[in-house]
Amino acid sequence: MKIGLFFLSLLITLNLNSQSLPEVEITQSWLNKIEAMVKGEKRLAPNKKKNLLIFSLHTGYNHWTIPHTEEAIKIIALKTGDFNVDVTKDVGVFEKKNLSKYDVIVLNNNCSDRERRDMFWDVIKENELLDEKEVLDKAKKLEKNLLKYIKRGNGLVVLHGGIVMQNNSSDFSDMVGGSFDFHPLQQEIRVKLFDTEHPLVASFGGKGFTHYDEPYFFKNAYFNYNFRPLLYMNLDQIKMTRDRPKDNIKFISWIKRYGRGRVFYSSPSHNAQSMDNPRLVNFLLNGLYYVAGELNCDDSPILVNKLTD
């Protein structure tokens, strides 16, 4: 009997540890709480406001927090008065004439289907009567439009699963700084600051924080380290069942240049509960200002041989 109770308790514990955080209702109270956290002040003249687009489509895994992240970014951007904000799930926004309306694109947890890991292909294949070559050509064209849009001097924010949008594309991986590989179960992550003096992480006051999330692991362009790290975690503190990678430091947020454009990636932004941390909320605001060209800071790539813990 005691052995049976022990294993029952163990199974319950394992099950609880593998669960996502409980879903949060989007209420006016929740929205007001986010707005009260935003500390940014207006920096731009009214005629210099930036046009920002939040793209929230998923064709693969559905993060339940997509609506929450969307609302949070809207609030963060609008509170300062420096941004106009549109929201869409229409891939047609990546046509050249539509992209030209915006200064910043936010990719909000845009997980693509596992079959190809190509969101443009997913949508075109599903909704248009085209042969295979036509689908591939049109999907590639939309991806190239996005790449050129950023390279020519615009801004890109990629939040958590947004890195999966074109996950098998080497060009997309090069632009955003990596591709998604896998993640262990959600758990507490001790997030550390790579450079406590960097202006983009100023909201953290020089200190790391504990965060409950999926610890993302990356591949492809990630190992070029062609970015400036902002946040990282130590893998020896991560609970996982797969073989541990040899690199103990895993970056989970960074900034980088792509041509004349700027890119900001933040894996911490997944759960609605992430937005309970005002330091993280204002970190995301700093990311918006960086990609909009309104926060000048060191975004030079790191030197791999200087990676230490």
Sheet with 249-258, side-by-side order of all strands: 83-88, 50-55, 104-108, 155-159, 261-266, 249-258, 228-234, 187-193, 209-213
Orientation angle between helical segments 28-37 and 66-79, nearest 10 degrees: 50
What amino acid is encoded at 227 in this protein?
F
Q: How would residue 304 be classed by pLDDT, with cut points 50, 70 and 90?
A: low
Q: Taking the CA of residue 161 as centre, how many other CA atoms within 13 Å lie in the half-sphere pointing to its CB?
A: 27
Instruction: Give 191-227 pLDDT, tens digit per residue.
Output: 999 999 999 999 999 999 998 988 889 999 999 999 9
Lowest mean pLDDT among 49-53, 60-64, 139-143, 192-196: 60-64
Alpha-carbon gap, residue 176 to 113, rounded angstroms: 19
**What domains can you pick out in the chain, each with its CATH number?**
50-306 (3.40.50.880)
**The two three-digit tokens of residue 172, written as one number:** 């997309």
**The two three-digit tokens of residue 161, written as one number:** 């699963």
Q: Is the pTM of this model over 0.95?
A: no
Q: What is the pLDDT of residue 135?
A: 94
Q: Which one-letter DSSP state was computed for residue 267?
A: S
Cβ pair 178, 222 in contact under 8 A: yes
Instruction: Give 83-98 pLDDT, tens digit per residue.
Output: 999 999 999 999 999 9
Mean pLDDT computed over every residue of the chain? 90
Q: What is the pLDDT of residue 282?
A: 97
